[in-house]
Structure 1
Amino acid sequence: MEWTIQELAARAGITSRTLRHYDRVGLLTPSRIGANGYRYYDATAVARLQRILLMRRLGMGLPAIAGVLAEEVDVCDGLRAHIAQLEGERDRIDRQIRSVRHTLEALEAGAEPQMDVMLAGFNDHYEEEVVSRWGERAFRAANDWWHGKTLDQQRAWKRAAEDLVAAWVAAARSGISATSEPAQALAARHVEWLSRIPGTPTADGDRERSIEMVHAIGDMYVDDPRYAGMYEDATKAAFVRDALQAYARTRM
Structure 2
Amino acid sequence: MKTRIEEYSVGQLARLAGVSVRTLHHYDDIGLLKPAHVGANGYRLYGRIEMLRLQEIMFYRDVGLSLDEVGRLLDGPADAVERLIRHRDRLQEDSLRTARIIDTLNATIAHLKGERDLALNDLYTPFSDDRQAEYEEWLTNEYGPDMAASIATSKAAVEQLPDGMAGAMNRLKNIEIRLVAAYEAGLAPEADDNHPMLEQHRALMTDMWGRDCTADGFAGLADMYTSHPDFVARYERLSPKFSGWLPAAMRAHAVRLRGQG
Normalising by structure 2, we get a TM-score of: 0.47
Q: State the structure with bigger RCO (CA 8 A, min sep 6), 1 or 2.
A: 2
